[in-house]
Amino acid sequence: MKPLQNRTVAVTGIGVVTPAGVGVDAFWQSLLAPAVDGNVRRVDEEKLNARRVMTHKTAKNSDINVHFAVVAADEALRDAGLLADARSDAPAESDTQALVDTVDLDRAAVSMGTGIGGIQTFAAQADVLRDRGERLVSPHTVPMVMPNAAAGALSIRFGMRGTASTVTTACAAGTDAIAAGARLIAQGFADVVLAGGTDSSLTPVCIAGFGNMRALSKSGISRPFDRDRDGLAASEGCGMLVLEPLERAVARGAHVYMTIEGAASTADAYHVTAPAPNGRGAERTMRLALEDAGLRPEDITHINAHGTSTGLNDAAESEAVSRLFGADAPVLTSIKGVTGHSFGAAGAIEAVAVALTIANETVPPTAGLVNQDEAITLDIAREPRPWVPGPVLSNSFGFGGHNGSIVFVPASASAS
C-alpha cells in the first residue's frame, strides 16, 4: 500500500441535474428564485435531453439515475477541461468519451453515492412481470437496478480504470462519496476522481411510503426551519465534482472552485429514521470534520445545511449548530426549498451549490422560509446575501442514522 501523501484536493469541475434547473447556470439562477411548489419534483426530461450524450440503445438500457449521472459528469469534465472529443477508434454508435491525453486512466477513479439505485427500473419491470409475464421482463433489469450502475457506467464511458465505488448511506451518500473521492486524491491513489451522487426514487410505492410515514409535505411546500414546516418535497437529480490534486490543477492552469480540507462520517446508532436527540450525532460529525480540516468553529463563514423541512431534522440540526458554533454561528442556508430533497444525490447537489456560492460571492436564500421557528435562533439567509468567501461546512444526514459533513475552502484561502 502506498504511504499517505496528504495532497490538497481541488475541485476543478462541476455539473448538476435538478428539477429546478439542468446545468450549472440554470441551477444557480433557480437558487436565487422563490420557493417551488410541489411535494414531488421531477427533472424535466426534455431539458435533460440525455439522448444528446447517450445512444438510444444505452439510454434505453440504463435507469434514469444513470442518465442524470452521465449528463452531469459530461458537464463537470468539460468544465474542468478534461473532456476530449469522442475516440476516433470508437464505433459510430459508441457512448464512450475520451479524456484529454494528460490523464492517466489507470489513476482516474469514480466515487458515486445513491439511495437505492435503479428503483425506477425495478418498479417498471415488476409491473411487466405482473401484467405481461416473466418472458417479457428485460434481460437488462439486474444491471439497470444495481446501485453501482452509475459508477460502472461512468467508468466505462470515460475509460476510467481506477476504483469505481458506490456509497449507499441514504441521504448522506452524496457527501460521503465526495469525501471518499477526496481521500483517494489526498492519499495518492488517484489523480482524477469523478465524485458525486445521483438518485431517482420517485416511484408510486416510495412516494406512498414517504407519505404514510408523514415525512412528505402535505402543503406541497418545502419550508426549511420555518415554524409551519410540514415535511419534505421528494425530488431527484445528480451533482458531480471533478477532483484533482491542487498542485496538478494549478500546473495545468485549471480553474479551481475550492478545495476539500476535511470531512467526517458517523452513525447515530439510535433510530432508523429519527435523528439522535438534540442532534448529538450531527454535532459530533461537524466537530470531527472541522478537526480533520484543522479549523475551529469560528473559522467557518457559512453552513449549507441539510435542512429537509421536517420537524425533527431541522430541530436536531439547528440545535447541533447552535451548540457547536454558539451565538456567533455563521450564516446558514438550505437549498431544499428550491431543489426538494433528492435523497442520495442531495449532498452532491449541495456541494455544487457551495462551489457556486463561492464563485458568486453570494449565499443563496432559504426559499420557503417565511416565519422562522422561534426555537431556532440561527442567522438563516432569506434573501440572496453578499458574502466574502471563506471556509464552508456542508451537512448531510440520512435514514439509518448516517451523518456526513464536509469542509470546503475557497481556492484563494487554500493558496494562502
Of 306, 282, 262, residue with least CA distance to 401: 282
- Choosing from 67, 206, 238, 341, the catalytic residue is 341
The C-alpha cell at 208 is 406512498
The C-alpha cell at 299 is 473559522
- Choosing from 67, 206, 302, 306, the catalytic residue is 306
Q: Sign of torsion, CA 206 211 214 218? A: positive
Active site residue 306: yes
Inter-CA distances, 304 with 224, 308, 385, Å: 12, 12, 13
Active site residue 171: yes
User: Are 318 and 324 a contacting pair, CB within 8 Å?
Assistant: no
d(C-alpha 377, C-alpha 368), whole Å: 17
- Choosing from 67, 171, 238, 302, the catalytic residue is 171
Inter-CA distances, 298 with 282, 290, 354, 355, 393, Å: 18, 10, 18, 21, 12
The C-alpha cell at 212 is 404514510
The C-alpha cell at 372 is 422562522
User: Are 38 and 220 a contacting pair, CB within 8 Å?
Assistant: yes
Residue type, 132: R
Quickly count: other Cβ atoms within 10 Å of residue 147's Cβ: 20
Q: Sign of torsion, CA 188 189 191 196? A: negative
User: Are 403 and 172 a contacting pair, CB within 8 Å?
Assistant: yes
> How far is Cα of residue 1 from the mean position of the Cα atoms in its chain?
30
Beta bridge partners of 9: 245, 260
Of the chain, the end-to-end C-alpha distance in Å amounts to 32
| Alpha helices (H) along 163-301 | 173-186, 204-212, 246-251, 280-293
Catalytic residues, by residue number, are 171, 306, 341
